[in-house]
Amino acid sequence: MGIEMKILVTGGAGYIGSHTCVELINAGHEVVIVDNLCNSNIESVKRIREITGKDIEFNEADISDREKMEKIFCNNNFDAVIHFAGLKAVGESCEKPLEYFINNISGTLVMLDIMKKYNVKNIVFSSSATVYGTPKTVPIKEDFPLSVTNPYGRTKLMLEEILQDIYKADNQWNVTLLRYFNPIGAHKSGKIGEDPNGIPNNLLPYITKVAIGELPILNVFANDYPTEDGTCIRDYIHVVDLADGHVKAIESIKDNSGVRIYNLGTGNGYSVLEVIKNFEKASGKQIPFQIADRRAGDVAVCYADSSLAKKELGWEAKYGIEEMCRDSWNWQVNNPKGYGV
Ligand code: NAD
Ligand code: UFG
């Protein structure tokens, strides 16, 4: 703990990556970003520089571009990699499975091979609560059975397994798999946040677009689930808390060799209607909504038991749903066009 590290952040221009870069820099670490900008904007890197006052190295490259990646590893003496780069839309992954397997899996394999060559064997990987499929009970613990229902989820599960195999073959590797629940919110400065392309798939970005008048009405995907108000329950977590989880994970990675797996959630579940109410309160805006059909693949209730991360990493979420809604709204109001494209 407390030792400054040089960290390669893949996908560092993206939503969670950009927030994590800020927290890593605030904690005294040096960050190098690699991102092909397929789902992000170079403006986010400028904003990270603005927030932190540090001139971060940015490399526009695909993680599967061996030549460019080798150059980056050759020029830097990395202690660890935090690996966010990947495609993440569940629906799109069903339409374009190959694209997801090539980008997420092949890309990661190339990168891991280069890590091995340059003897960088510490990695924190972005996994997802999606690997739990439809959980039989909640809260979800790390040792629950795993299953997936779509190609996106399969890329996460396969990469988890691949990383475990790599460790089994070479115990010098340190692998931390972080299973995120539902990240929302934004940095309190309002300078970085989530900037999805086109019409958002996820609840919070959709709500903020309705609040700002860009979309007319929110469709609530059904109210006939076995929950109190009939709408689905999720474990929303502030993206800055999530970012802090990565700082804690990377700082402990060298102490404990092996494979470690942590849920990053708050442990609290909120229904879609509760999120709408909290957002209305935080923003002072009314969110018109209508009840629509169920969305294929949605599970009724999903929230984390994150006590392992608390015990082993000393991490727990600090922010509540009010702050998450407030900061999502603050980002939207300050950046009505996101990063401007
Ligand atoms: P994001 O799309 O904002 O960030 C991902 C970044 O990776 C983007 O900047 C994109 O341009 C980059 N990228 C994608 N493929 C690349 C490649 N081949 N080479 C280089 N760069 C590439 O997404 P996010 O929400 O910040 O998610 C980060 C990670 O966390 C992803 O792996 C995602 O699957 C995972 N995750 C996200 C959520 C969520 O709800 N946001 C939940 C669970 C897990
Ligand atoms: N929802 C609506 N209307 C919308 C969008 C969402 O009612 O317009 C509802 C969904 O039905 C769900 C809840 O809001 O009940 C949350 O939906 P999101 O799409 O925001 O999040 P998910 O829980 O479906 O998915 C997220 C990530 C996935 C990840 C999964 C599990 O987007 O990448 O969590 O970790 F796989």
pLDDT digits (tens, 9 = 90+) for 17-52: 999 999 999 999 999 999 999 999 999 999 999 999
The answer to whether residues 7 and 77 touch, using CB atoms and an 8 Å cutoff, is no
Whether 255 shows a pLDDT value over 80: the answer reads no
Residue nearest to atom 14 of ligand 1 (CA): 86
Residue-wise pLDDT for 118-135, tens only, equals 999 999 999 999 999 999
Q: Is the C-beta atom of 205 inside 6 A of ligand 1?
A: no
pLDDT-based confidence at residue 279 (cuts at 50, 70, 90): very high
Residue 122, classed as helix, strand or coil, is: strand
Kindly state the average pLDDT of the residues 144-153: 96
Residue nearest to atom 33 of ligand 1 (CA): 88
pLDDT at 340: 87
Find the ligand nearest to 13 CA. 1
Whether 297 shows a pLDDT value over 70: the answer reads yes
- Candidates 109, 33, 34, 125; CA nearest to 64 is 109
Q: Which of 21, 23, 39 to mutate to test the pocket of ligand 1 (most atoms within 8 A of CB)?
A: 39
pLDDT-based confidence at residue 59 (cuts at 50, 70, 90): very high
| Per-residue DSSP letter, 293 | P
Residue nearest to atom 20 of ligand 2 (CA): 202
Q: Is the C-beta atom of 126 inside 6 A of ligand 1?
A: yes
Give the containing element (helix H, strand E) for 328: helix 321-334
Exactly one of 152, 225, 303, 319 is catalytic; name it: 152
Give the containing element (helix H, strand E) for 110: helix 107-117
Q: Is the C-beta atom of 283 inside 6 A of ligand 1?
A: no
CA of 38 to the centre of ligand 1 (A): 10
- Candidates 253, 258, 255, 242; CA nearest to 306 is 242
Q: % helix / strand / coil in the chain, to the nearest 5? A: 40, 20, 40
Q: Is the C-beta atom of 155 inside 6 A of ligand 1?
A: no
Percentage of the residues of the chain whose pLDDT score is greater than 90: 97
132 is catalytic: no
pLDDT at 257: 74
Q: What global pTM score does this model have?
A: 0.98
Whether 1 shows a pLDDT value over 50: the answer reads no
Find the ligand nearest to 10 CA. 1
The answer to whether residues 24 and 253 touch, using CB atoms and an 8 Å cutoff, is no
